[in-house]
Structure 1
């Protein structure tokens, strides 16, 4: 947690369960709405709250209402610091005036939260990522149609793959469950693999967001190899063998 003000916001949430942005502005009259909104974003990224339209709800209150956390929520809360570092490095790569694709996944979600509210045009396979992007007033959002995986909240299946044939993708921001020199970028779901394969084939530029826990890890299905991508973003320096293999194919490394 960054400061005393954020601690006070948490204490308010602890007492009331939820808080409105206007209430925070009244409580902190010397602080701008933009700064208070950044406080809420920071606290949400740390897992303390969930932002709503005009305010926030305590994560504890949501858990009490819904019961045990779902699988996606548990995974999203893991290694959040690494995911945020990766997303921060990737933000400058999100260009206006381009057709952009956001894959599903919790690291991509961090990127969706961090990009500025500007006139981006974004296609996504993440149902929750689409909802996050819609919080921004100036962002145009398109979702793929198909089956929603309850564990990843990603959309896949024949309809999703077919729809990708009808769109152009300048820059694709992709996730993976594993990366190794021998197997490339891998995932565990065959239907999601097919969607990712199609995106990589159609995109002019492919950016992989990958936290270091997934390096030298193999899942069942390969959707791309290092020669298929353009940029690899990680929160820490890559192992020597991965770095050498990536550099062999001219992959730009941000670590």
Structure 2
């Protein structure tokens, strides 16, 4: 079993139980205790768990979807509206599970598009819209994030190709690295990047630098950043060197000041 897959399963066990012992994880994953200890050390270095005697406990630092969706609504909606304007009818679009990406889905009603997503929130938003061909990726249901994830989602993504990928992130480092808080969600996002012709990051000002200990991708993997913020000089330089176009979308309240 690949290390990345073991890491997903370890974090899933911690999410469901809060704690897990080396012995239990070794038996569940059919690998040696030494392998599990190395995995736990790596995941602790990534800030995703805390090792304790004989096992590990979960680090919970990601807000549930419903709570995150209520933050910076006007800013996210302005970003979503600018992103929606990039898409032409007849195109195919991958939407990830972020809350800003969900707001983008709200701007797609009535459009003749194919939408591919692992987001249950996006599915709920678009499922009644018969102008949109909607593909829901398979996988394990992650309830707090309202998403489907895991190897089934990754396998599905290897079978598709889209004109656009719109993705969110937990943070953007000054060097332009796009970060997440959970290693379990990274493989599917990387598969989305591989499946999209144009990769667009949607990130409001709270994401600079934001949170996250796990790298999703570097600036070289992005084509466009849509944000409501004036990007700091280090990040702007890194994005510019990578050829990333930065689009600033101002919320109505900001334009009035």
Matched residues, number? 186
Residue 152 (structure 2) pairs with residue 177 (structure 1): no
Q: Secondary structure at the match of 1:93?
A: coil
Q: Secondary structure at the match of 2:199?
A: strand
**One of 218, 221, 227 as aligned partner of 2:220:** 227
Show the counterpart of 1:191: 184
**One of 164, 167, 178 as aligned partner of 2:160:** 167
**One of 215, 240, 244 as aligned partner of 2:208:** 215
Provide the aligned C-alpha RMSD in A. Answer: 1.5
Residue 138 (structure 2) pairs with residue 145 (structure 1): yes
Equivalents in 2 of 1:238, 1:107: separation in Å? Answer: 18
Residue 76 (structure 2) pairs with residue 76 (structure 1): no
Residue 116 (structure 2) pairs with residue 127 (structure 1): no
Show the counterpart of 2:101: 108
8 A Cα contact 1:155 1:192, kept in partner = no
TM-score for both structures, normalised by structure 2: 0.69
**One of 73, 78, 81 as aligned partner of 1:88:** 81
Higher relative contact order at CA 8 Å, sep ≥6: structure 1 or structure 2? 2
Equivalents in 1 of 2:167, 2:175: separation in Å? Answer: 19
Report the CA distance between 1:224 and its aligned residue: 0.8
Q: Structure 1 residues 173, 143: CA separation in 2 closer, same or farther (over 3 Å shift)?
A: same
8 A Cα contact 2:176 2:235, kept in partner = no
Q: Structure 1 residues 248, 131: CA separation in 2 closer, same or farther (over 3 Å shift)?
A: same
8 A Cα contact 1:98 1:120, kept in partner = yes
TM-score for both structures, normalised by structure 1: 0.70
Equivalents in 1 of 2:88, 2:141: separation in Å? Answer: 28
Show the counterpart of 1:241: 234
Equivalents in 2 of 1:163, 1:116: separation in Å? Answer: 25
8 A Cα contact 1:183 1:218, kept in partner = no
Equivalents in 2 of 1:235, 1:155: separation in Å? Answer: 28
5+ residue gaps, structure 2, are 1-62, 249-257
8 A Cα contact 2:65 2:146, kept in partner = yes
Report the CA distance between 1:237 and its aligned residue: 1.5
- The answer to which of 177-186 and 208-217 deviates more is 177-186
5+ residue gaps, structure 1, are 1-69
Show the counterpart of 1:54: none
